[in-house]
Amino acid sequence: MSKKLLHKTTSSFLAFAIIILLVSAPVFYFICQQLYIYETDEVLHFHKGAFVKESYKNFTENDIEAWNKYNQNVVISADMGITKDSIFDEMAFDSVAKEKEPFRIIYAPVTINGKRYTYKEKISLVEMEGMVINIAIMFLCIIIILLIGIIWISKRSAAKIWKPFYNTLHQMHDFEIDKNKPPHFFPTDINEFNQLNKSLEGLIEKNTAIYKNQREFVENAAHELQTPLALFQTKIDTLLQLELNKEQFSVLSSLNNDVSRLNRLNKNLLLLSKIDNESYLEKSTIVLNDYIEKHLDFFTEQAEAKNISITTEFSSILSISGNPALTEVLINNLFLNAIRHNEKNGNIIISIQNNQLTFLNTGQSAPLAIEKLFNRFSKINPSSQGNGLGLAIIKKITEINQWEIKYDFNNQLHSFSITF
């Protein structure tokens, strides 16, 4: 599934930021905890040093008892064999909280009046945990606000920066080489976008010129061929009126068929050229039911050679807005396609339902290659007498009228449906 460029860059940045946040939060908490413990240890050492300094002022055993009585967190006890200052984490009972709490406790040797004692002081770490958690929460809030701000600013700035690119993309999406309306790109101060626009302008200009030359060549060639083909047809018709032997008549008949095919090809090329040049702009209301019924006898005669039966199924009246000449070509080509690619004793069903016209016909027992079906000079059967332009003309007519044509194969029937 494809993503928009802005979403892709923003999602990558957001994923990176979330990973950094998840990693940095516990690291930050651990560092704060270690810093607090370090400061607590410094305080314990400072208190112990201050006590040693005071203990030289003629402390007696009664003073020690009084000290222990009125100081809960600092106790002078008998010598416990401690030879150097030692600090530990311990869980001790807290009379205020009435439960065990984490404490940082120092055990240190002291000498009072020439007698060795053990100095013991504890500092609760509960306050530290609360403080560190509050700092961590504050840190997370600041980081989250920072991330939201960065993402919002980057998205806004990226949208502004990439606006010329999306404008170029939109114009290229709407550009049609046969409409003679080249895109006009917005000027931008970004060098890469200017290079892109200049490259596209050069490419469009070159291909438009090639397309115009090809279209003019086809139109001019088709016009120039009309006169010699008409003269050729007339001379063949004149020769067919003479007394000819069987071999001569066969050769002229073959030539006559070939000239007829050339005439049809020439007319189709002229028609496509006129459609490309937007020569059929006039539109009027057309009732397709009436047109099909009016010409049904003619196409029934065309189908008699293969003994094809034609059935109409009109469940509604279908009125469309279109050019009468092009609509006639559209219906004629659908009829001829259904007849030409049908089988002997086959069937053609013409259906109108709501805003849809459908031609169904029997024929080959496999579906047609959809990817090449509407290409110019693409033949379903290479030995066919057609020129491969019938379906291409149908496709072109539906495109300029913004109709939709769809091919389907179901129940051994080939279906061409046009939704108006």
Q: Are residue 215 and residue 239 in the same domain, yes or no?
A: yes
Q: Are residue 9 and residue 146 in the same domain, yes or no?
A: yes
Query: Can you give the pLDDT at residue 358?
Result: 93
Query: Can you give the pLDDT at residue 251?
Result: 83
Q: Which residues pair with 361 in a beta bridge?
A: 348, 414
* 176 inside domain: no
Q: Are residue 270 and residue 291 in the same domain, yes or no?
A: no
Q: Look at residues 246, 276, 306 and tell me which one is the last residue of a structural domain.
A: 276
* 181 inside domain: no
Q: Are residue 257 and residue 292 in the same domain, yes or no?
A: no
* 51 inside domain: yes
Query: Can you give the pLDDT at residue 112?
Result: 81
Q: Are residue 412 and residue 340 in the same domain, yes or no?
A: yes
Q: Are residue 296 and residue 395 in the same domain, yes or no?
A: yes
User: Which segments of the chain have a pLDDT < 50?
Assistant: none
* 222 inside domain: yes
Query: Can you give the pLDDT at residue 236?
Result: 80
* 41 inside domain: yes
Read off the tokens for 256: 């006559």
Number of folded domains in the chain?
A: 3
* 55 inside domain: yes
Q: Are residue 258 and residue 302 in the same domain, yes or no?
A: no
Q: Are residue 291 and residue 341 in the same domain, yes or no?
A: yes
Query: Which CATH number covers residue 384?
Result: 3.30.565.10
Q: Are residue 105 and residue 232 in the same domain, yes or no?
A: no
Q: Look at residues 157, 174, 203 and tell me which one is the last residue of a structural domain.
A: 157
* 162 inside domain: no
SS (H, E, C) 40-87: HHHHHHHHHHHHHHHHCCCCCHHHHHHHHHHCCCEEEEECCCCCCCEE
Give which of 283, 282, 271, 278 is closest to 322, Cα–Cα. Answer: 283
Query: Can you give the pLDDT at residue 362?
Result: 93
Largest CA distance in the chain: 157
Which range marks the domain in which residue 62 is found?
5-157
Contact 286, 319 (CB under 8 A): yes
Query: Can you give the pLDDT at residue 360?
Result: 93
Beta-carbon contacts of 275 under 8 Å, excluding residues fewer than 6 positions away, are 326, 393, 396, 397, 400
Query: Which CATH number covers residue 272?
Result: 1.10.287.130
Beta-carbon contacts of 28 under 8 Å, excluding residues fewer than 6 positions away, are 136, 139
Q: Are residue 233 and residue 363 in the same domain, yes or no?
A: no
Q: Are residue 228 and residue 210 in the same domain, yes or no?
A: yes
Q: Look at residues 276, 299, 334 and tell me which one is the last residue of a structural domain.
A: 276
Query: Can you give the pLDDT at residue 8?
Result: 65
* 185 inside domain: no
Q: Are residue 265 and residue 288 in the same domain, yes or no?
A: no
